Chains A and B, each alone.
Chain A
Amino acid sequence: MGTHRKSTPDRPAPLFAALGDETRLQLVSRLCREGPLSITRLAEGSRMTRQAITKHLRVMEGARLLECTRRGRETLWKLDEQRLDDARRYLSLISKQWDDALERLRSFVED
């Protein structure tokens, strides 16, 4: 349903900026392939320092592309998959609007 307010063209930009970097794309593609990883694992086989990698991860976290979770003493980085799945989220939003509309219809026709 079309109940969306007039938009301001600012929200996707951080997402694209976050992905517009070769290092970050590589980190994302590893998280895609291997699932949630710690900074130690992400730094393995990389020429970059952990500090430099963390900086990139934080940029992507800021764009809500990644999120970090704790497992014991370890911090794991993972993809925020819903952020990567616009088409489905879009349908979920519209789907919810239909649910609301049909509940109103039910109230309207059932006495």
Chain B
Amino acid sequence: MSTDKIEKKILLRAPRARVWRAISDSTEFGTWFGLKLNGPFRTGAVMNGVLTPSMVIPSVGESQKPYEGMKFDFTIERIEPQRLFSFRWHPGAADPNMDYSSEPTTLVEFLLEDAPGGVMLTVTESGFDKIPLARRAQAFKSNDGGWSEMVKVIEAYVGNASQVNA
């Protein structure tokens, strides 16, 4: 597994225009992602988001609850209608007292392709190798459950390995 990049593929049984709207419309994006955003997505726009647990799947929304109110800032990089949407952000940048602006960002890309029965969506997040190790470690420190929680996360991840290309 690459340490620089995460890649996910998911077949969505919905029309391409529907999937595109869910990703490129900031209100719709916020609904499933769990973010309240400050405006529409436009190339070059700097978005400010506040985490608002998504209740699209209630049990998963519960797992976002501890992060409620957390701020996300990201910059829209590319919008190619019906095909590609990408932005850059600071992974794990959650501490409001920290200035992350000089740190490297990761690039998140959503790529849509037609597939039998729907749309194949590929999501990649890349650039992790440039993220300082200290910053990566914070992702674990911030996990209140500590190590045992982490193991659960890993088990869940390994359990899903058949549908995951990480």
Q: Give the B-binding residues of A (Cβ under 8 A).
A: 1-12, 64, 82-83, 86-96, 98-111
| B3: Cβ under 8 A from any A Cβ | yes
Contact present for A89 and B140 (CB under 8 Å): yes
Contacts of A5 in B (CB 8 A): 66-67, 70, 94, 142-144
| B115: Cβ under 8 A from any A Cβ | no
Complexed CA–CA distance, A82 and B147 (Å): 10
Contact present for A6 and B157 (CB under 8 Å): no
Contacts of B92 in A (CB 8 A): 2, 4, 94
Task: Give the interface size bracket for B toward A.
Answer: 35 or more
Complexed CA–CA distance, A105 and B137 (Å): 28
Contact present for B91 and A2 (CB under 8 Å): yes
Contacts of B139 in A (CB 8 A): 4, 90, 93-94
Complexed CA–CA distance, A5 and B18 (Å): 32
Decide: A3 near B51, CB < 8 A? Known: A82-B154, A88-B1: yes
Contacts of A101 in B (CB 8 A): 32-34
Shortest Cβ gap from A98 to chain B (Å)? 5
Can you report 22 A-B residue pairs in the complex whose CB atoms are below 8 A from each other? A2-B89, A4-B67, A5-B143, A6-B96, A10-B141, A11-B146, A82-B151, A87-B136, A88-B3, A90-B128, A92-B157, A95-B6, A95-B8, A95-B164, A96-B153, A99-B8, A100-B63, A101-B33, A102-B123, A105-B23, A109-B12, A110-B12
